Structure formats: structure tokens, C-alpha cells
Amino acid sequence: MARTFVALYRPGPGWLADTPVWGQPLEEHGRYMHQLFLEGRLQAGGPFTDWSGGLAIFVVEEPDEAQRLIDEDPAVVAGTFAAELHPWMSVDWPSYRPRS
């Protein structure tokens, strides 16, 4: 059964100080994430608008697979990003019924 995980990305030790996000070496990260999206393993992702980091929502079968996706991210490998993984459950708000 597929499970959902959220990865929180933040600048890592390889982040170029005093360089905005669009000046960071993130081309390979973008290609990697796009490929995961095409494979159906990345549901959504992107930067925070305050540029403090970003997030990615992965849908995979096993927690180890989610961790491996982060560990193999070129931006994490290069140290541009550090990431932490959390299991996540989305609330089905259209079907939500508060308890009386």
C-alpha cells in the first residue's frame, strides 16, 4: 500500500552564502524531482516563498524508499540542501464530518 511522506528541505552546508535560491546550483535537483514526478513518486513540491527552504510530497510503498529518494537527491548529495523526512496523512476534507 502506498504511503505518503513529506520531505522538508533547508539550506545545507554547501549552500552558497549571500546567493539567492535562483543562483544556487539546483539544475540537477530540478531534473531529479521532475523525473520522480513523471514516475508518480513525487506528488508535489517546491520552495517556500520566504526562500527558507521547501518541501516535497512523496508517495511510495516503503519508508526506506522515501529516505532513499532524499539521500539520492543531487542537491542533498552536494550539500546544497539538507532534508528531513516525515510520514504524513492528508485529511479528506470533502468527506470530513465533525464528531458531535
pLDDT tens sequence across 6-60:
999 999 999 999 998 889 999 999 999 999 999 999 999 999 999 889 999 999 9
- Sequence-ordered list of residues with C-beta below 8 angstroms from that of 54, at least 6 positions apart, any chain: 8, 9, 45, 46, 47, 48
Owning domain of residue 37? 7-90
Q: What's the confidence (pLDDT) of residue 22?
A: 87
Q: What's the confidence (pLDDT) of residue 39?
A: 97
Would you say residue 65 lies in a domain?
yes
Q: Which of 98, 2, 1 is nearest to 57 (CA)?
A: 2
Question: How many domains would you assign to the chain?
Answer: 1
Q: Is the pLDDT of residue 1 over 90?
A: no
Q: What is the pLDDT of residues 57-70, one digit of tens each?
A: 999 999 899 999 99
pTM of the model: 0.89
Q: What's the confidence (pLDDT) of residue 91?
A: 87
- The CATH number covering residue 41 comes to 3.30.70.1060
